[in-house]
Amino acid sequence: MSHHHRRSSARTASVAASVAASIAVALAGAFAPAAAAQAPVRPDGEGFVEVVVPTTPQGVTLRLTSDQPANVATTRAVSLAQGRNRLRFDWSRERIDEGSLRFEVAPANGTANVVQREKIHRRGAMTYFDVEAASDGPATLTTRYLLAGIGWRVAYTGLLDAAGATLSLVGTVEVSNRSGQELVDARVVFDGGEIAALSLAQGERREVELFRIDGIPLQRRYRSDPARHGGTPAIEIELANRAGTPLARPFLPAGRIRLLAPQEDGRPGLLGEDVLPATPLNSTAKLYVGHARDLVVERQVLHQGNENEQRDRWNKVVAYDHRTKLAWKLRNGGDTPATLLLVERPGVPFEVVGASHAASKTALDTVEVEVVLPPGGMLDASLEWLRRNLW
């Protein structure tokens, strides 16, 4: 009984000492700079040196992509003792993907290798890395992992010049942090840009300007597509991201673009908004920003009827051809020439059999007639197609 009592007392004393040591370490941690390298602590009897890793890393790099969690690389400075070191990381607050966790150690002197990594399930999100160091000294730890909760979006604002021929474009990026991790001077890299140092606490968002480019040439045309845009012609603006032009960005991420144009008083008014698709270098993006009120399109169906009907034994039509004739009356109320695309979708299959202007089959069920309208002028156009072997 007394023997048992002595063992129990010894255990109690050991626990008390351990708790006291923990409190001391916690207090020391609270008053010491979080990012400072900590001296190794040698616990008794475990055969390794436990190194308390600084909570706040010295360097953080986030690589963001459009459809994946942030790929994070953090670096920390620690002091390693010769022999087995156990490095403890606590990721209980961060939304990390533990399966993606990778770890590298680079000692200032000698060599060190990661022997194993251990997770003790009852201790929650604590992960332990065992490092075998050849000698005492400082080392840089790099941990890499996927972190959920970092959001980013790109937005563009474009201002057209008075003639509507060129564009001044401003690109911004907004980064939001709901990852549980506090970002301090983090380098943020994403497709098409980079922020050198970003500080963002949990629950914060920050918008940063990426670029501002003037004099970007653009093409403006109009599309009359009743099936997609209704009765009035839509404004289509084509933007080229091309080498050798002012806008020569390696990559323009997809994002909302707001186009402004000067009004009669010279102040910018809203022309319209669209989503700029992801646009790599040497490619173009088409934007649909609204409708033109100074172009009038009157569409008339002149003829629609069946031909060449095939009938079965009971005089029921089993196959036929179908012919359609359209005519347009077009007016341009503006004071500049306008290129207008008349878009029709006859269905599948079809063939163009006649047109007053250049007509091209741009897709399986789509035909486009291109008409250039003079300033303040009127024009007639027509189109005829035939659909064979329908049933």
Partner 1 sequence: MLRSIRLGGALALLAAAAAWPARATPLARALPQGAPAASPAIPRLLVYGGDLTIVEQIAPVGLAAGRNSVRLDFVRGNADVASLEVVPLDRPGEVKVAALFRRDDLGNTTFVELDAAKSGPERLRLRYAARGLAAGVAYSAAFDAASGTLDLLQDLEISNGSGESFAQADVRAVFGVVRTVPSTAVLHGRAPDPDPNAPPGLPTPPLVQDLAEHTVVPFGPPLALPDGVTVRRRALEKRALPTTLEWRWDAGAWGGRVWRVAKVANGPGSALGAITLQPGSLFLVEREAGATERFVRSGGLGPLVPGQELELDLGPTPELSVERTVVDLQRGDLVFGDYNKALVSYSETETVKLVLDNRAAAPRALTVIERVATPSFELAASSAPATRKDQVTLEWKVEVAAASKLELTYTVKKTNLHP
Kindly list the residues in this chain that would bind partner 1 in the complex (CB under 8 A). 61, 63, 65, 68-69, 71, 73, 99-100, 102, 114-122, 144, 146, 189, 191, 194, 251, 278, 280-283, 310-314, 318-319, 348-349, 351, 361-364, 388-389, 391
Residue 364 CB, nearest distance to partner 1 (Å)? Answer: 4
How far apart, in whole angstroms, are the C-alpha atoms of residue 235 and residue 240? 16
Between residues 33 and 99, which has the closer beta carbon with respect to partner 1?
99
We find the least distance from the C-beta atom of residue 388 to partner 1, in angstroms, to be: 6
Which CB atom, from 284 or from 300, has the smaller least distance to partner 1? 284
- Comparing CB distances to partner 1, the nearer of 25 and 115 is 115
Which one, 115 or 355, has the nearer CB to partner 1?
Answer: 115
Sheet bearing 49-52, strands edge to edge: 49-52, 83-90, 126-133
Strands ordered across the beta sheet of 70-80: 96-107, 137-147, 70-80, 59-64, 183-190, 193-200
Q: Which of 292, 253, 294, 296 is nearest to 275 (CA)?
A: 253
Question: Which residue do the tokens 């172009």 mark?
Answer: 295
Min. distance of Cβ 60 from partner 1 in angstroms? Answer: 12
For 5, the token pair is: 């009592």
Question: At closest approach, how far in Å is the CB of 14 from partner 1?
Answer: 19
Closer by beta carbon to partner 1, 31 or else 314:
314
Q: Which is nearer to partner 1, 3 or 121 (CB)?
A: 121
- CA 191/CA 65 separation, integer angstroms: 6
- Please enumerate in sequence order all residues whose Cβ is within 8 A of that of 76, keeping only pairs 6 or more positions apart, or say none: 35, 53, 54, 57, 58, 140, 141, 143
Please give the Cα distance from 141 to 274 (Å, whole number).
Answer: 45
How far is Cα 23 from Cα 334, in angstroms, rounded to an integer? Answer: 79
Between CA 102 and CA 282 the distance in angstroms is: 36
Please say which residue, 259 or 276, places its beta carbon nearer to partner 1: 276
Sequence-distant (6+) residues with CB within 8 A of 308 are: 320, 321, 388
CA 380 – CA 371 distance, rounded (Å): 10
CB closer to partner 1, 284 vs 336 = 284
- In whole angstroms, how close is the CB of 86 to partner 1 at the nearest point? 12
Q: Please state the closest distance from residue 156 (CB atom) to partner 1, in A.
A: 18
**Greatest alpha-carbon span in the chain:** 113
Shortest reach from residue 239's CB to partner 1, in Å: 16
Distance in Å, CB of 105 to partner 1, minimum = 13
Q: CB nearer to partner 1: give 104 or 207.
A: 104
CB of 63 to partner 1, least distance (A): 5
- For residues 79 and 94, the answer to whether their CB atoms sit within 8 Å is no
Taking the complex as a whole, how short is the minimal distance between the CB of residue 30 and partner 1, in angstroms? 29
33: Cβ–Cβ under 8 A, 6 or more apart, which residues?
none
Q: Which residues pair with 373 in a beta bridge?
A: 338
Identify residue 227 by its one-letter amino acid code. A
Looking at beta carbons only, is 165 or 319 nearer to partner 1? 319
Q: Is the dihedral of CA 332, 333, 337, 340 positive or negative?
A: negative
